[in-house]
Structure 1
Amino acid sequence: MSEPVGPPPPAPHHVYAPPAGYAPPPQGYGPWTPQQIPPMPAVPPARAAGGSALGIVAFVLGLIAAVGASIVAAVAGFQIGIGTGDQLATQLAPAGADFDFALLSPVRAWVLLAEVSFWVGTVLGVWAIVQGIVAIAKNRGRGWGITAVVIAVAGPVIYGVALWGLFATGIASSATPLGA
């Protein structure tokens, strides 16, 4: 037997059919190899940040809703307390008795101002919350948007404390002592 001269013949290529739904590879380019799919990243890529104007506007609206409306309501509450303090102090009604709204007649303009500040603060506060959430989601002033949402959510508490605190202060400063 003689030994073959030259290199050994190449091993036969095993060409497999592509999976269902994939076209066979073009002829002449070699055997089909599946395409490698890159692994999913552990953290999704950060969205491109837009301008921060959306968040800043939400912050300003939240600030006006929480602080501005509360200041207006506090001034109105103090004036209502001063205007009705004497009548409220002399009319010591039990807790279950009906309130006589005619006592508010001399200070109806201040009562209207307090109510208007409530509704304006509510509308601006809801607007600030919605726009702040959009700013957070779109990464367009995310920090401003978070701050706007927090301030707008705290707005009703600030409003109530300011109004009732200065209303009670107005009553206390205008009421005459009971023995006088």
Structure 2
Amino acid sequence: MTDPQLPPPYGAVPPPAAPPAPSVPPGPAGTVPPVPRAPGFAAPGYATPGYTTPGQAAPDYTAPPGAYQVPVGGYSTPGGAYAVPETAPQPSKLTGVLSLVFALVATVVTPIVAAFASYEVGRRVPEAIVRLNSDDLSSLSVLSPARDQVLWAEISFWAGTILGIAAIVFGIIAIARKRGRGQGIGALVVAVVGPAIFLFVAGVALGAGAAAGGVGLYS
């Protein structure tokens, strides 16, 4: 290494000289000159772009004339765009369900009750015919031994009739107001077929009972 105090050898390139220090203008006596700050840092008395110091007016952020601006209220949906439809509340199906229940009770339950009552009536009538005289063979006297069974048969008949009419009325309302149209249509079909089923079951049970009573009488 060479001594920095000695002159450089012949042919050597001298190192570049350091830049001179920035000159600070002298201020009043007793004051400290301002120190340069890094960009983005605001010290008291210095304004930094993008920031507001106390006593400084807020910058104006309005767009210059001719610039694109967002419309007030945001963007509106085009007229032909797809919109999700509002789901309307589903109507209650209680009317259709009630009509179907009435029809099933009138078509299934009442014929079963009538079948038991008719069978007992048919089984007791032959014995009553044999015991009564020919002068007393009236309808009421023949049915007197089975008066309770006749009463149950009548109750089942009228109950089935009332329930069938109610099923038809409720079924029509359910279909017209769309409150269980499927149940209403089913109730109408069952209610219309119900009387035929009732008469068929009661007639078969009455005949079976009369046959059983006749066989037991002559055995």
Normalising by structure 1, what TM-score?
0.64
- Work out whether residues 58 and 132 of structure 1, in 8 Å CA contact, stay in contact via their aligned partners in 2: yes
Once the two structures are TM-superposed, the CA of residue 51 in structure 1 deviates from its matched residue by 1.8
Match of 1:70, as an amino acid? P
- Work out whether residues 107 and 190 of structure 2, in 8 Å CA contact, stay in contact via their aligned partners in 1: yes
Higher helix share: 1
Q: 1:150 to 1:74 in 2, by over 3 A?
A: same
Q: Give the equivalent residue in structure 2 for 1:67.
A: 108
Once the two structures are TM-superposed, the CA of residue 133 in structure 1 deviates from its matched residue by 0.5
Identity %: 39
Q: 1:117 to 1:102 in 2, by over 3 A?
A: same
Q: Give the equivalent residue in structure 1 for 2:93.
A: 52
Larger radius of gyration: 2
Q: Give the equivalent residue in structure 2 for 1:112.
A: 151
- Work out whether residues 49 and 139 of structure 1, in 8 Å CA contact, stay in contact via their aligned partners in 2: no
Q: Give the equivalent residue in structure 1 for 2:214.
A: 175
Q: 1:177 to 1:147 in 2, by over 3 A?
A: same
Structure 1: gaps (5+ residues): 1-46
Structure 2: gaps (5+ residues): 1-87
State the superposition RMSD in angstroms: 2.6
Normalising by structure 2, what TM-score?
0.53
Q: Give the equivalent residue in structure 2 for 1:163.
A: 202
**Partner-residue secondary structure (3-state), 1:175:** helix
**Partner-residue secondary structure (3-state), 1:129:** helix
Number of equivalences: 129
- Work out whether residues 128 and 145 of structure 2, in 8 Å CA contact, stay in contact via their aligned partners in 1: no
Once the two structures are TM-superposed, the CA of residue 83 in structure 1 deviates from its matched residue by 1.2
Q: 1:87 to 1:147 in 2, by over 3 A?
A: same
Q: Give the equivalent residue in structure 2 for 1:22.
A: none
1:100 to 134, 139, 142: 139
Distance 1:172 1:55 in 2: 42
Once the two structures are TM-superposed, the CA of residue 179 in structure 1 deviates from its matched residue by 6.7
Distance 1:48 1:168 in 2: 54
Question: Higher relative contact order by CA 8 Å / sep ≥ 6: 1 or 2?
Answer: 1
- Work out whether residues 126 and 217 of structure 2, in 8 Å CA contact, stay in contact via their aligned partners in 1: no
Once the two structures are TM-superposed, the CA of residue 89 in structure 1 deviates from its matched residue by 7.7
2:168 to 124, 129, 146: 129
Distance 1:175 1:109 in 2: 20
Once the two structures are TM-superposed, the CA of residue 59 in structure 1 deviates from its matched residue by 0.2
Distance 2:203 2:94 in 1: 35
Q: Give the equivalent residue in structure 1 for 2:188.
A: 149
